[in-house]
Amino acid sequence: MSEIYKNDLINIQIEESEIPWLKIFTNENIKELSSCNYETKEEIFRCLDIIEKEMLDYFNPEKINIASFGNYVPHVHFHIMARFKEDSYFPEPMWGKKQREANLDLASFEGFYELIKSKF
């Protein structure tokens, strides 16, 4: 995983995948979202909103999936994934049962990551 953005409250990392997939983490080791202070929550949702909108515009996916669970990593984080009918798992979650071999022809992930960096 590589980090593409960090400030005092959060950091944003790339999840290597066949689909565009970013994760927002709190910098502090906070177990539950309800334990975050207002400023941290506001920053999480500000960045999540930007990422979702830019994924929609840049990749034109079938759906954006946003997930927040951390049973293996008990640390507040959100997954933001652009999903496509042709990806390997659709309509299953990316952690689900593989449905097919991916048949994707997507715009440059690197170009998208540079665009996202410019928005923060």
At residue 103, the pLDDT reads 86
Q: What is the Cα–Cα distance from 84 to 56, expressed in whole angstroms?
A: 11
| Domains of the chain and any CATH numbers | 2-119 (3.30.428.10)
At residue 74, the pLDDT reads 77
Stated pTM of the model: 0.94
pLDDT digit string (tens) for the chain, length 120 residues: 599 999 999 999 999 999 999 999 999 999 999 999 999 999 999 999 999 999 999 999 999 999 998 777 778 999 999 999 999 999 999 989 999 999 899 999 999 999 999 999
To 10 degrees, the CA torsion angle through 49, 3, 106, 43?
Answer: 0
